[in-house]
Amino acid sequence: MGMEKITGRIATDLEGLKQFTATPGDGCTRLPFTKEARDAVEYLKVVMTEAGLEVHEDAAGNVFGIMKGEDESAPCVMMGSHYDSVRNGGDFDGIAGVVCAIEAARQLRERGIAPKRNFVVVGFCDEEGMRFGTGYFGSGAMLGNRDVEYCKKFKDTDGISIYDAMKGYGLDPEKIMDAKWPDGSIGSFLELHIEQGPVLDAENIELGLVDCIVGIQRYMVTVHGRADHAGTTPMDMRLDAVDAATKVISKIADWAREKADGTVATTGYINTVPGGMNIVAEKVEFTVDIRSSNNDNINDITRRIRAALDHETKEMGGSYEMDNKLTITPVMLSEEMLQIMEDDCREKGYSCKRLASGAGHDSLEIGQVIPTVMLFVPSKDGRSHCPVEFTKYSDFAKASVIMTDLAQKLLER
Ligand code: HGY
Ligand code: MN
Ligand code: MN
């Protein structure tokens, strides 16, 4: 199949999916268990069906398309990514991996291969954790790592739990464990994804072979002070939550810089309550997202944040909570599958390099227990999680051929 045709099919699907956003004209906002998610899933179901796949949606809101193999009981080859997005994100993060997995199914069919095992395309419902502050909900549910208690525990900023959001979306959260696949039923997981960083674009390299994905810890920190009049309350009588919280926040980035090994730490969300310019803040909520390929670094920064909060809230006379939203260790990806793709790139004359992923992915949770591999395509200027996120459709086409070659090898074993 010519590259033009493959590029055209990927472009058609990604252009078609762009419409499913809550912020048209200002990036892609497709949060889990929303109208935009529902519309995107229905679109994906049509495209999967047209590609000859047997489609179903599971108890968590993940959507699957299955190409049956000779032995349906053999561990399947699964390929895909997530269909949710961050707020005001780009048009490629996650969803391009789902579209390229459907494209791989088309190419496998056009090659007329007789798969010995099922080839399963998947679109996961909530990789970002943008709405509930968590992460990898869909892939975690597929592995049996998300239960009813988890669904009730985590809430969005409107106080809606995953549990209630699922009910509003038409799912039964009491059945979340039905989403678990039997142990051993998934033989390998392949994920094609944009790099979301600057390396491939800056070095003009066509494809990225991901050998490691960083570990991540995420927290929601709440610092409690006391609301007071901003004009009449003397400085030494205040329990100023902003003063205490910012003394901690201002240190976090430097603690990551000191590691000097790619470790990163981000405070992406800060909220003051009641949030009036003439009121001493009663409460401050802020998030922390810490990532490193060295788990000890993550634990060290977490420890330092907790110690600083102990000190500053004691000084202020207030208190704090540091609620863990996600803890996941770094993962090394499949050397065997990386080698197969590396040899294929060399044979086809595609430039490629091995690199670690600073972004988390469904592969991060899946790769903890199943042989997994990721293939990156360049992100223009390294930008992502913003409306200017861009990758050429022809780059996706090249990557889809390499991943289809890998899938074919695995399916013919
Ligand atoms: O946050 C991340 O790294 C990914 O985009 N979910
Ligand atoms: Mn992603
Ligand atoms: Mn993302």
Residue 159 has pLDDT above 90, yes or no: yes
Residue 1 has pLDDT above 90, yes or no: no
Interval 384-389 mean pLDDT: 97
For residues 42 and 134, what is the distance between their CA atoms, to the nearest angstrom?
25
pLDDT band at residue 268 under the 50/70/90 scheme:
very high
- In this prediction, residue 83 carries a pLDDT of 98
Report the percent of the chain where pLDDT is more than 70.
100
Tokens found for residue 344 = 């294929």
- The residue among 242, 238, 243 whose CA lies nearest residue 317 is 238
Interval 209-237 mean pLDDT: 97
- In this prediction, residue 144 carries a pLDDT of 98
HEC string of the chain? CCHHHHHHHHHHHHHHHCCCCCCCCCCECCCCCCHHHHHHHHHHHHHHHHCCCEEEECCCCCEEEEECCCCCCCCEEEEEEECCCCCCECCCCCHHHHHHHHHHHHHHHHCCCCCCCCEEEEEECCCCCCCCCCCCHHHHHHCCCCCHHHHHHCECCCCCEHHHHHHHHCCCHHHHHHHCCCCCCEEEEEEEEECCCCHHHHCCCCEEEEEEECEEEEEEEEEECCCEECCCCCHHHCCCHHHHHHHHHHHHHHHHHHHCCCCEEECCCEEEECCCCCEECCEEEEEEEEEECCHHHHHHHHHHHHHHHHHHHHHHCCEEEEEEEEEECCEECCHHHHHHHHHHHHHHCCCEEEEEECCCCHHHHHCCCCCEEEEEECCHHHCCCCCCCCCCHHHHHHHHHHHHHHHHHHHCC
Task: Please give the distance, rounded to the nearest whole angstrom, from the Cα atom of residue 310 to the centre of ligand 3.
Answer: 32
Q: pLDDT by residue (tens digit) across 207-217?
A: 999 999 999 99
Nearest atom, ligand 1, residue 127 CA? 6
Tell me the pLDDT of the chain averaged across its residues. 97
- In this prediction, residue 45 carries a pLDDT of 98
What spatial distance separates the first Cα and last Cα of the chain, rounded to whole Å? 23
Residues 6+ apart with CB under 8 A from 384: 89, 90, 93, 194, 195, 196, 197, 359
To test the pocket of ligand 1, the residue of 81, 86, 130 to mutate (highest count of ligand atoms within 8 Å of its CB) is 86
Task: Please give the distance, rounded to the nearest whole angstrom, from the Cα atom of residue 375 to the centre of ligand 2.
Answer: 12
- In this prediction, residue 407 carries a pLDDT of 98
Task: Please give the distance, rounded to the nearest whole angstrom, from the Cα atom of residue 182 to the centre of ligand 1.
Answer: 27
Nearest atom, ligand 1, residue 135 CA? 6
- In this prediction, residue 120 carries a pLDDT of 98
Report the percent of the chain where pLDDT is more than 90.
99
Task: Please give the distance, rounded to the nearest whole angstrom, from the Cα atom of residue 261 to the centre of ligand 2.
Answer: 23
Q: pLDDT by residue (tens digit) across 12-69?
A: 999 999 999 999 999 999 999 999 999 999 999 999 999 999 999 999 999 999 999 9
**Ligand nearest 129 Cα, by number?**
1
Q: pLDDT by residue (tens digit) across 276-312?
A: 999 999 999 999 999 999 999 999 999 999 999 999 9
Interval 209-227 mean pLDDT: 97
Task: Please give the distance, rounded to the nearest whole angstrom, from the Cα atom of residue 85 to the centre of ligand 3.
Answer: 6
For residues 325 and 268, what is the distance between their CA atoms, to the nearest angstrom?
14
Nearest atom, ligand 1, residue 291 CA? 3
Q: Tell me the residue type at 161.
A: S
Residue 351 has pLDDT above 80, yes or no: yes
Ligand 1 shell residues, CB under 6 Å? 127-128, 359-360
- How many alpha carbons fall within 13 Å on the CB side of residue 274? 10
Nearest atom, ligand 1, residue 216 CA? 3
Q: Whose CA is nearest to atom 6 of ligand 1?
A: 128
For residues 283 and 241, what is the distance between their CA atoms, to the nearest angstrom?
5
- In this prediction, residue 13 carries a pLDDT of 98
Nearest atom, ligand 1, residue 129 CA? 6
pTM: 0.91
Nearest atom, ligand 1, residue 93 CA? 5
To test the pocket of ligand 1, the residue of 191, 361, 362, 384 to mutate (highest count of ligand atoms within 8 Å of its CB) is 361
- In this prediction, residue 284 carries a pLDDT of 98
Nearest atom, ligand 1, residue 384 CA? 5
Q: pLDDT by residue (tens digit) across 78-116?
A: 999 999 999 999 999 999 999 999 999 999 999 999 899
pLDDT band at residue 229 under the 50/70/90 scheme:
very high
Interval 174-193 mean pLDDT: 98
- In this prediction, residue 148 carries a pLDDT of 98
To test the pocket of ligand 1, the residue of 385, 386, 389 to mutate (highest count of ligand atoms within 8 Å of its CB) is 385
**Ligand nearest 89 Cα, by number?**
3
Tokens found for residue 370 = 């199943």
Task: Please give the distance, rounded to the nearest whole angstrom, from the Cα atom of residue 194 to the centre of ligand 3.
Answer: 9
Q: Whose CA is nearest to atom 3 of ligand 1?
A: 359
Neighbours of ion ligand 2 (CB under 5 A): 93-94
Nearest atom, ligand 1, residue 128 CA? 6
Task: Please give the distance, rounded to the nearest whole angstrom, from the Cα atom of residue 168 to the centre of ligand 1.
Answer: 25
Tokens found for residue 111 = 């090659």
- In this prediction, residue 97 carries a pLDDT of 98
Task: Please give the distance, rounded to the nearest whole angstrom, from the Cα atom of residue 318 to the centre of ligand 1.
Answer: 33
- In this prediction, residue 94 carries a pLDDT of 98
- The residue among 61, 64, 58, 136 whose CA lies nearest residue 102 is 64
Interval 238-267 mean pLDDT: 97
- In this prediction, residue 128 carries a pLDDT of 97
pLDDT band at residue 252 under the 50/70/90 scheme:
very high
Task: Please give the distance, rounded to the nearest whole angstrom, from the Cα atom of residue 234 to the centre of ligand 2.
Answer: 48
